[in-house]
Structure 1
Amino acid sequence: MYTPKYFQQADIPEIKEFIRQNGFGILVSQHAGALMATHIPLELSKDGDKLRGHVAKANPQWKSFQTATEVLAIFQGPHTYISSSWYNHKNVPTWNYIAAHAYGTLKVLEGDDLYHSLVHLMEKYEQASANPVTAEKLSADYIRKAMQGVVGFEINIARLEATYKLSQNRDRESYSNIVHELEQRGDEDSARIAEAMKKNHDVLFKP
């Protein structure tokens, strides 16, 4: 991933936490000379070294799992337009965003490994539900029957890259103006980018 030095995020624990909080990713692999991509939830392991997920068996991308030497998982966070009218000087508009790439090798999951992967993923996202569904409510037999329609996988992460493009190349006045204008917008992405910029402020502009 091309990332100018201003925007490089080298803090691996920070990148892993970002992936945990933005787990709906894009799995990219290659099969028979063609690139394939699927939008799916991916779960990062507790140690942060592996990603687990699954695709529908009707999705031909799973056929690449046996031959792919490397796969890529892309995670997108908040992103928003930055108007050049917010700078204290003439310059072009741009786009602020946070994104991470995870590269690694993939193996297919079957049997109990796939079962536990499906259960863990469901439990993670059911926590926010008013009446969460559990594996016990669905029953193990029901889940194992559903497993016949998917292909599970685990990615052993070889390297992580992340871009936190948050106006780090702007002066203090323009930076503060951007945060202020983003907070006035009222949409979630603008608010999240503004919050991330405020966290960076004291590091960029030390007293």
Structure 2
Amino acid sequence: MRTGRAGHVYGEFQPVEDAGQLKRIMEQTIAYYGAGMDLPWDGQIPDHVYGRLIQGVVGFKIRISRMEGQWKLHQDHSTQRRSRLIGHLRQTGDRDAIRIADTIAAAHAKPGE
């Protein structure tokens, strides 16, 4: 098994058909994912363009009843291979990659390290 995470969310599917509510969801999504960018997109789309684009969007919400998650952190690989992976992840400078590297290292650390 390779390193990875899997998540499953169970719940009630709720379609979003109201144009105003769908637009708010789109704006919130753009703001959330753009927040970490050097030059975030403001999400402004001319109404005539937005009207055409939104026709291809299926909006929905999920009323979550249960969530499950699982991590696989190179437990079936050699110590040498894990060490190379940890080094590579840390060299990226990416905050999430470094956190994964630290988690892999901690999961495989010998007592007293």
Q: Which residue does the alignment assign to 1:111?
A: 19
> Residues of 2 paired with 1:195 and 1:143: CA distance?
45
Percent of aligned pairs with the same residue?
26
Higher RCO (C-alpha 8 Å, min separation 6): 2
Q: Which has the higher strand share?
A: 1
Deviations 1:137-185 (A, max 9, x none): 335x357513233220001112111111225689xxx6x545313235x
After TM superposition, what 4+ stretches of structure 1 lie above 4 angstroms from structure 2? 167-170, 190-193, 204-207
Q: Which residue does the alignment assign to 1:62?
A: none
Match status 1:138 vs 2:45: yes
Gaps of at least 5 residues in structure 1 are: 1-93
Q: Which has the higher helix share?
A: 2
Aligned residues: 105
Gaps of at least 5 residues in structure 2 are: none
Match status 1:179 vs 2:79: no
Native 8 Å contact 2:22 2:59 kept in 1: yes
Deviations 1:28-76 (A, max 9, x none): xxxxxxxxxxxxxxxxxxxxxxxxxxxxxxxxxxxxxxxxxxxxxxxxx
Q: How does 1:50-129 map to 2 (within 5 A)?
A: 94-109=1-16, 110-129=18-37
Native 8 Å contact 1:96 1:193 kept in 2: no
TM-score by length of 2: 0.64
> What SS class does the counterpart of residue 138 from structure 1 fall into?
coil
